[in-house]
Amino acid sequence: MVSIKAVLTGLLGVSACMASITGVVTDTGSTPISGAVVKLETGGWTATTAADGSFTLGATTGTLPVNGKLLPNGLSAGITGNLMTLTIAERSAVEIATFDLNGKELSTVRQTMDAGSHSIALPQRRVGVYLYKVKSGNSEFVLKGNSVGGATSASALSTQGFSSSKQAKAAAAINDIIAVTKTGCLNYRCVQYSSDTTGLKIKMIASAGTLTDTDGNVYQTVRIGNQVWMAENLRVTKYNDGTAITKITDSAAWYNIYNNNLMTPAYCFYNNTTNADNIKKFGALYNWYAVNTKKLAPAGWHVPTDSEWEVMQSYLVMHGYNYDGTTDTLTNNKIAIALAAKTDWLFAAADIYGVGNPGNDLTKNNSSGFSALPGGYRLYGGNFYYVGYYGFWWSATEYYASTAWLRYLYFDIDFLYRYYGFKSCGFSVRLVRD
């Protein structure tokens, strides 16, 4: 008897394939948004919303490709009723083995098939969950089937044939990300955990326009109360007069600013990355001396003061932007839920402490549109810390000779913290409109 462990080897290391994802895109009320582009980022499926805002992501033929793509030999499969539809790109020997969840092999079908699509009758099963291991040539994967009243439906669980180390590396808290774009709205990105998801309700927030920095980078903005904020972290490398900001990659040189009170304006990217996608996502890290030049922002914008951060925070608290939709008090606010983006934050205390307790996870809804991301920080000593866990943002307000006010979010705490940091630290920057 083949063990269930053997059948499921690697399942946790590979994203589940969605048989279909359906939903509707509206504004923050209930008005449908047509013409929005909806994409499953890893799977690659794309759809455009109809006049009523509806969309469907998935295989229109009923075939289930693994992770959104055919395997190297073109193998894919799907189940409708008691028929498995199998597609192969070349003639090969095909084996379909059926297991129950105890690992007992219930039946096996072996057949040599020509290239093309084939329908294979599955044996009638009692109500329950079954696993179908499909193998063709050197490629194989597993379908999870749910039998109800003699009819079976299924979704792909895993692709076999990859090394265990690669599968372990692929293990993540997410299956995929749904991204939605539409002119006039903030870009929407959200982690999608579940397979076979239907009836998603996606609400897009109106954009307040864009701003362009000295490098030509274009950023989305959002209105929060009477203020207009960047909805992305700044990544400019030149001041608004065109001169270059000092870029420091060396840890000793960064520490030298702190150790010798040099007050040198400087910036860097987290871990000195050159990855354009990461730079665009998380932005740059600036020390406060760069902020204090008052030349980071293009005309009409500026780094927010401590009091301007307080205005934004108070507005969100007093207008019910909390995870449960209720108004909270300034001393016990939960607005991190409304500020944090729906992607890239780590989700459980186990990620840090290695324990099973998931902790006080941020159930993020980004209802403010601020789209805060955990870009980490660079300490005054020059080392980088905690991308994925923390987001820090400078204010333009000095606290003491060597420190300035800031705001920060932590991945499993639902408060927006006000604190102060050494001016030689590297933190993210958001701009607010004059």
| CATH class name, domain 1-206 | mainly beta
Contact criterion met (CB below 8 Å) for 80 and 62: yes
Q: What is the pLDDT of residue 193?
A: 61
Tokens 């409304």 belong to residue: 338
- Tell me how far CA of residue 1 lies from CA of 8, 159, 161, in angstroms: 14, 22, 21
Extract the tokens encoding 157: 């669980």
Q: What is the pLDDT of residue 226?
A: 97
Whole-number percent of the chain with pLDDT over 70:
71
Extract the tokens encoding 213: 């920095």
Q: What is the pLDDT of residue 329?
A: 47
- Tell me how far CA of residue 420 lies from CA of 34, 76, 316, 372, in angstroms: 45, 55, 22, 19
Tokens 């095909």 belong to residue: 94
Report domain extents, the chain: 1-206, 210-433
- Write the pLDDT tens digit of every residue in 241-259: 999 999 999 999 999 999 9
- Write the pLDDT tens digit of every residue in 25-37: 999 999 999 999 9
Burial class (CB in 10 A: 0-12, 13-18, 19+), 9: middle
Tell me the pLDDT band of 67, cut-offs 50, 70 and 90: very low
Burial class (CB in 10 A: 0-12, 13-18, 19+), 432: buried
- Write the pLDDT tens digit of every residue in 324-382: 444 444 445 678 888 999 888 875 333 333 333 333 444 568 889 999 999 999 999 99
The alpha helices in 29-104, defined as continuous H runs, are: none
Whole-number percent of the chain with pLDDT over 90:
48
- Write the pLDDT tens digit of every residue in 174-213: 357 889 999 999 999 987 765 446 788 999 999 999 999 9
Q: Which of 70, 42, 68, 44 is nearest to 139 (CA)?
A: 70
Rounded distance between C-alpha atoms, residue 218 and residue 68, angstroms:
31
- Write the pLDDT tens digit of every residue in 275-323: 999 999 999 999 999 999 999 999 999 999 999 999 999 898 888 775 4
Q: Does residue 147 surpass a pLDDT of 60?
A: no
Rounded distance between C-alpha atoms, residue 100 and residue 129, angstroms:
7
For 434, half-sphere exposure in the C-beta direction (CA atoms, 13 angstrom radius) is: 7
Q: What is the pLDDT of residue 151?
A: 41
